[in-house]
Amino acid sequence: MDSYSPKTYYIRTFGCQANMADSSTLAGILESLGFEHVEEPKSTKNDHDLYMHLLPQTDLFILNTCSVRQKSEDKVYGLGKVLKELTEKGKKKPFVVLAGCMVGSVTGERQRYAFEELKKRTPWVDLYINPSQVFDLPNLLQREAILDEWAVKKYSAFNIKPVINDKKSAFVNISYGCDNFCTFCVVPYARGAEVSRSEEEIVTEIKHLAGRGITDFTLCGQNVNSWGLDRKTKFQIRTGSDHVLPFAGLLKTVHEIEGVQKINFLSSNPFDFTADLIETIKLPKIDNYLHIAVQSGNNEVLKNMNRRHTIEDFYYLVNKIKEAKPTAELGTDIIVGFPGETEDQFMDTVELFKKVKFNVAYISIYSVRKGTNAEKFLTDDVPLKEKKRRHAYLSKVWKETLR
């Protein structure tokens, strides 16, 4: 790359709210170093046109990636063609940083596949950073001769102010990583072991954002319910138990912060949604919408997914939530066509949808994710045509329940 210091940046984010929160932090880091954000045009026909417009104006381009579905990864791989087209047209190629879960999946102690394989597929990337390296970005850029030493010396991770484009809402990560190891999921590999941020850090960030006029907050983590718990304890907790959760206490603390008007949290699982947390959702600032990933309506499938709840647990939880907060709206995640799922087992999920009547449902077709336990130990034996049929059928049933 040319020996100039970048002045402009652009971040493209794929994936969940945790990634969005990370991107806000990355933007705050870059702006503390003097970078200026390249604004998106008001209208572009597609990603290709967006990139062709933005990248020639951009000195530092960060792709914050997702690995949960193959489609998200394919979008990243497709960027190589755009960069090649830019070069062929004699336009400047930005310094490209690949961040997020795609990098997390090939680095650290829980590598899902070889780092060299990702590098081979993304030769246009100049720097790779995993989710745990977000605050190391200035040092990594200095190592690549993108930043001068003086810029890094004045940098302090403690003084970073996340860049929030939404004037009302903000995502705040309360924990990183996951230890659940659901057999279909890449997150424990991509984001590493579960680590909770301190209450002091979280409260300080929310107070700062509230002082800037943010009123609505979403607390993010791969499993927010287990915030503040040690590894042994969190695996002992079960649906509806009397265990007092630190997370419920955190919600109460955030509830009392001046300027906070609405609190949401993502993601919750049924297996550690305790009576304590059910009681806490009665607080007036807690949003009516609760997203709780059930994944299947059949116990055998749930067992094969390594989920720590039964469908009976989930029905019990829904009933208790409705008793505590009759206005509650429920959302969930579902996978159809999981290895070994029979037609009868799929129909149990259909029955679940008819009984619960979810307000929001993210229905996914199972796809093999390299390095997961499902890929290693289960046979992907449901034909794609059948997966698509089940997806269409369940989507139709769900839409009918909304009427």
Which CATH number fits the domain that encloses residue 174?
A: 3.80.30.20
Q: What is the pLDDT of residues 258-267, one digit of tens each?
A: 999 999 999 8
Closest CA to 281 of 238, 232, 247, 324: 324
Are 143 and 88 part of one and the same domain? yes
Q: What is the pLDDT of residues 314-354, one digit of tens each?
A: 999 999 999 999 999 999 999 999 999 999 999 999 999 99
Domain of 112, CATH number, reads: 3.40.50.12160
Per residue, the 3-state secondary structure of 318-343, as one string, reads HHHHHHHCCCCEEEEEEEECCCCCCH
Are 267 and 150 part of one and the same domain? no
The set of residues, in sequence order, having a beta carbon less than 8 Å from that of 343 and lying 6+ positions away, is none
The pLDDT of residue 48: 86
Are 278 and 360 part of one and the same domain? yes
- Of the residues 103, 135, 159, which one is the last residue of a structural domain? 159
Closest CA to 187 of 285, 110, 97: 110
Are 241 and 268 part of one and the same domain? yes
* Euclidean distance between CA atoms 155 and 392, whole angstroms: 51
How does residue 401 score in pLDDT terms, banded at 50, 70 and 90? very high
Give the domain range for residue 149: 8-159
Over residues 23-51, the mean pLDDT reads: 88
How does residue 71 score in pLDDT terms, banded at 50, 70 and 90? confident
CA distances from 46 to 59, 90, 287 (A): 22, 22, 34
* Euclidean distance between CA atoms 133 and 67, whole angstroms: 17
- Of the residues 159, 193, 216, which one is the last residue of a structural domain? 159
When divided into structural domains, the chain yields a total of 2
Average pLDDT score over the chain: 93
Are 179 and 319 part of one and the same domain? yes
The pLDDT of residue 2: 47
**Angle at CA 108, nearest 5°, toward 142 and 273?**
115
pTM over cut 0.85: yes
The pLDDT of residue 1: 44
Say yes or no to pLDDT of 158 above 80.
Answer: no
Are 132 and 204 part of one and the same domain? no
Residue 2 placed within a domain? no
Over residues 10-26, the mean pLDDT reads: 91
Residue 164 placed within a domain? no
DSSP string, 71-90: HHHHHHHTHHHHHHHHHHTT
Are 143 and 196 part of one and the same domain? no
Collapsing DSSP states into helix, strand and coil, what is residue 290?
Answer: strand
Are 186 and 286 part of one and the same domain? yes
- Of the residues 159, 179, 205, which one is the last residue of a structural domain? 159
